[in-house]
Amino acid sequence: MKKTVQLSFLLISLISLGQHKNEVNATLDGTTKEIEIKQKFTYVNSSNNGLTALYFNDWNHAYANRNTALAKRFGEQFKRSLHLAKDKERGSTNIVSIVDQEYSGLDWNRIGNRDIIRVQLEKALEPGESIQLFFTYTVKLPNRKFTAYGYGPNDQYNLKDWYLTPVVYQDEWKLYDNMNLDDIYTDVANTSINFTYPEKLILTTNFDENSATSFSNGQYVQLRGTNRKSCEIILSRTKKFTKHVTRFLTVTTDLESAKYDDISQGISITKIGRYLEKQLGRYPHNNLLVSEFDYNRSPLYGINQLPSFIRPYEEQFQFEMKFLKTSIHSFLKETLFLNPREERWVTDAIANYLMIKYVEEHYPKQKLAGKLSRLWGFKSFHLAQMDFNEQYALFSMLSARKNIDQALTTPNDSLIRFNEKIANSYKAGLGMAYLSEYLGEQKIDSSISSFYKEHNLNPKVNASDFRNEIEKFADKEIDWFFDEYVSTRKKIDYKIKSIEKTEDSITFTIKNKRGTKVPISLFGLQKDSVISKYWFSEIDTSRTFTIPRIGEDRLVLNYDQKIPEFNQRDNWKTLNGFFSSNKKLKFQFFKDTEDPYYNQIFYVPIVNFNVYDGVTPGMRLYNKTFLERPFQYDISPTYSFLEKTLVGKASFRYRKYHGETGLYVSNYSFTGSTSHFQVNSRFSTLTPAISFGWRPDDLISNRRQSLLFRYRSVFRNIDENIVGEIDTQPDYSVLNVRYWDVDNDIINYTSWFLDAQHSNDFTKLAFEMEYRKLFENNRQFNIRFYAGKFLRNKTNSDFFSFALDRPTDYLFDLAYLGRSEDSGIFSQQIIIAEGGFKSQLDNPFANDWIATTNASTNIWRWIEAYGDLGYIKNKGENARFVYDSGVRLNLVTDYFELYFPVYSNRGWEIAQPYYGERIRFIVTLSPRTLIGLFTRKWF
């Protein structure tokens, strides 16, 4: 026993000798929102290389200007807050001096515009040696409106990554910028902080608190952290946090539920503490901070984010899941020191697996829709029948079906937002549940527990250690899990290809549709009861198996849906004959999740509008579920009350996804529509089309390219009273080829297209380029150039001509509310196309060529000045110079805008009669288009 104690002290001493030591004296000024810091850092070179320079994370400086990595990331996510911020709202770090233990000033520099400080040493720091550095600097805190870190109203502070910390060196320096991903990678240190802060504020921290005192106009506390990475501090004027001391761990938390009493909350916290100790082991620190702030940074996405008055879960379940998620992530973050940018999938796998397992143990009957699953009218939905844990497959597959899924080993800063926040972490947890089913729950639980006990507080732990622990407990080959499931984005997709049966055996062939060699489960069902289960592996393309027959009437692959399979609609075969294998039709109101055992047809009432058909109610029939599927149809018949006839549209589309980048998608479609373009005058279109899409290697980039081939046939039935007004053949067809290149960035938007059209009567080319720039002074400049030329034109009217301000839209692409109107409010609708002019000038058509430029810039906020100029030319005439100018109210760009003409070829329009009739507007009524304003931030 004595030798054991001596050995323990020796190990602790050795660890301490090799540990960085960090001593910080910090004073927060509540008026200036600045922290004055004097920091003594003892850096120990634990590597095998001599170091001539040291690097430190300075993540508070990410808010300093519009060109940091954080600002660029915000631009990619369509967030303008940091770009448009005032200087007083920004955060920055002003370093006064850096000296060594000899008090010699050291050269230092900030690497480019990054959140990294490089300190040049006087001489190389050899392995095993240490050096003391003294930093003097001021941290100006950012307004928390950007990332929720910094200062807020009423003296609220959330401080994280607020002082300099050492960059990790592992044969190379791991230099990472702050991108609002909560993944700072810093070396472990023994840290003491003497923190002085304003009076009347209440401090909460993840560190240990000592020597707290108050003095005139301020407070002081000493914070200590052993084997910690960073100190988090929350300050507020009100006491929000409660300390819960249990047998398993001590928790400081402000998570609460208004309808779940304090005693019950305490019981739930104890219950979760017991669960964490059982699954992971004893928490090595004195206090676990579980905050509402951390939960809001990474909430439980899904139905639980509905407003509280319609939240579908029982209060106990809601509270426990909220506390469980936040506590697990805090627990692992404070003790497992993996590289959080490149190896986050390991902690995601452990955390989400423990959440899945917790629900299975304590809430096995919990439905994803909660109490809503019992409501009349909703309980028939497949969503209402899904178990709570099925959300992991649903959300991870949402990404895969859109072909935007990324490998779990993809670094955080290369993940699109949906994958970073939801899909990848869910896929990681689902993968552990998959392994648990394949190897056995006890083996996975033991491997997680062993990994945590062996490697918690180890500064050199990595993902290979996690793999070694799982392989140590596995009794089957599991290379597929790490080499395919984790390291690639390959899809899993099997089907039962054929089946033969005898009285005592069943022979069947399983086809591997994607070539991903992972094991697949097979269930034998008798009615709805499972009577047999098997695992099959090593299936390259297809393989035949024979199993004993013990009463099965159905064979189903992946029946329990533990495997994140791409397509489960072909996973079953019946043993009762061909006709019984046909899936039943299921008509259902509104969109639902995918039910693999039915052919789902959804219906929903719709209402459209245009001047000639009036309000057109109807019914939309479609097969699109929440998960995208290759073949989709959408049929929308509506009834025109004004014309007393059916109108509407229909589309059939097959989408084929290819690789992750480059040519990533092909679309094959056939669409048709019919409506009215004038009183008692109908148009109908039929359009077969093929399109291809490209995207760059960086999926975060908003750049997309596409090539479209379509052949549009237009048929018109014209009212006898206006036959004389129509100067073209009623029916025509146009072959259209268009290439787009769009980079939809909120700071620098660029797009261009080249369009070619060929018909019996004309051939024409058109080119458009648009550029938007948001400058650092909050001024936005928009410029658009359009040019078109007829290569041949045998028409005798302007129906197919280029237009300055209101194209005739002979291809019926544009969403005009009154396409034939030449007076009244509907004639004032404008869609920026072709010439893009806003004033309605005389002779606005060109049957030879056109070249125009449209520009605008903001005067104040969303009030802009615009100007258009260009040339148009008709055959046999000289080119004509045209121009206009005015004021634009850019309320929502491309969705809701107003244009007020001021001066043009017509003179001072603002001074002319009937000025109200000259005002133009853009309006978008399509819900799908408006929803795109929000979903673009995620995908």
Give a yes or no: residue 703 inside a domain. Answer: no
Sort strands 250-253 and 288-290 into parallel, antiparallel or unpaired.
parallel
Band of pLDDT at residue 729, cut at 50, 70 and 90 = confident
Cα–Cα distance for residue pair 439/432, rounded to 1 Å: 10
| Confidence (pLDDT) at 932 | 65
Q: Which residues, in sequence order, are CB contacts of 413 under 8 Å at separation 6+?
A: 69, 73, 176, 177, 179, 181, 341
* CATH code: domain of residue 511: 2.60.40.10
Does residue 136 sit within a domain? yes
In this structure, the answer to whether residues 263 and 219 fall within a common structural domain is: no
Residue 294, in any domain of the structure = yes
Q: Using 50, 70 and 90 to split pLDDT, how confident is the model at 10?
A: very low
Give the model confidence (pLDDT) of 482-523 as tens digits.
999 999 999 999 999 889 988 899 999 999 999 999 999 999
Distance of CA 848 to the CA centre of its chain: 46
**931: CB partners within 8 A, 6+ apart:** none
Same-domain status, 136 and 278: no
Burial of residue 133 (number of CB atoms within 10 Å: 0-12, 13-18, 19+): buried
For position 560, what pLDDT does the model report? 87
pLDDT of 778 strictly over 80:
no
Other C-beta atoms lying within 10 Å of the C-beta of residue 412: 20
Residues 345, 424 contacting (CB under 8 angstroms)? yes
Task: Measure Cα distances from 285 to 32, 282, 334, 344, 873 in Å.
Answer: 34, 9, 9, 22, 79
Residues 866-873, mean pLDDT to the nearest whole number? 97
pLDDT digits (tens, 9 = 90+) for 213-271: 999 889 999 999 999 999 999 999 999 999 999 999 999 999 988 889 999 999 999 99
pLDDT at position 5 is: 37
The string of pLDDT tens digits covering residues 170-207 is 999 999 999 999 999 999 999 999 999 999 999 999 99
Average pLDDT of the residues in 780-784: 93
Q: Tell me: do 574 and 522 sit in the same domain.
A: yes
pLDDT at 279 over 50: yes
Q: Is the pTM of this model over 0.85?
A: yes
The answer as to whether 679 is a domain residue is no
**Model pLDDT, residue 519:** 96
Residue-range definition of the domain harbouring residue 171? 21-239
169 and 297 share one domain: no
* Phi and psi torsions of 562, nearest 5°: -80, -20
Boundary (domain end) residue, out of 200, 224, 239: 239
> Do 918 and 884 sit in the same domain of this protein?
yes
**Cβ atoms of residues 846 and 873 within 8 Å:** yes
Is the confidence at residue 6, as pLDDT, over 70? no
Examine the pLDDT at 16 and tell me if it is beyond 60: no
Residues 11/179, Cβ–Cβ less than 8 Å: no
CA distance 57 to 116: 5
Residue 596 lies in a domain: no
Domain limit, last residue, from 521, 554, 582: 582
pLDDT tens digits along 905-937: 999 999 999 999 999 998 876 666 666 666 666
Over the stretch 130-154, which tens digit does the pLDDT of each residue have?
999 999 999 999 999 999 999 999 9
Determine, yes or no, domain membership for 301.
yes
**Gyration radius of the chain over CA positions:** 33
Distance between CA atoms of residues 454 and 468, nearest Å: 12
Cβ atoms of residues 255 and 291 within 8 Å: yes
In a domain, 63, yes or no: yes
290 and 179, same structural domain? no
Q: Check residue 15 and give its pLDDT.
A: 41
Q: Any idea what DSSP says for residue 583?
A: P
Answer yes or no: do 227 and 263 share one domain: no
Percent of the chain with pLDDT over 70: 95
Residues 257 and 219 in one domain: no
Same domain, 215 and 251: no
Mean pLDDT, rounded, for 37-53: 96
Same domain as 44, residue 113: yes
pLDDT at position 3 is 43
Whether 213 and 329 share a structural domain: no
Q: Which residue, of 582, 604, 621, is where some domain finishes?
A: 582
Q: Where do we find the tokens 């109610």?
A: 617
Structurally, the chain folds into a number of domains equal to: 4
Report how far apart, in Å, the C-alpha atoms of 720 and of each of 644, 680, 717, 726 are: 18, 9, 9, 10
The pLDDT of 813-832, averaged and rounded, is 91
Q: What is the CATH number of the domain that holds 209?
A: 2.60.40.1730
pLDDT at 890 over 90: no
pLDDT of residue 256: 86
Which of 22-31, 285-294, 335-344, 894-903 is the least confident region? Answer: 894-903
Ordered DSSP codes for 129-151: -EEEEEEEEEEEPPBTTTTS-EE
Q: What's the pLDDT band for 724 if we cut at 50, 70, 90? A: confident
pLDDT tens, position by position, 361-374: 999 999 998 888 88
Q: Which residues of 612-636 are buried (b: 16+ CB within 10 A; e: fewer)?
A: bbeebebebbbbebebbeeebebbb
In the chain, helix, strand, coil percent, each to 5? 25, 40, 35
Q: Say if residue 407's pLDDT is above 70.
A: yes
Whether residue 114 is found in the same domain as residue 173: yes
Q: Would 738 be classed as within a structural domain?
A: no
User: HEC states along 331-395?
Assistant: HHHHHCCCCCCCCHHHHHHHHHHHHHHHHHHHCCCCECCHHHHHCCCCCCCHHHHCEHHHHHHHH
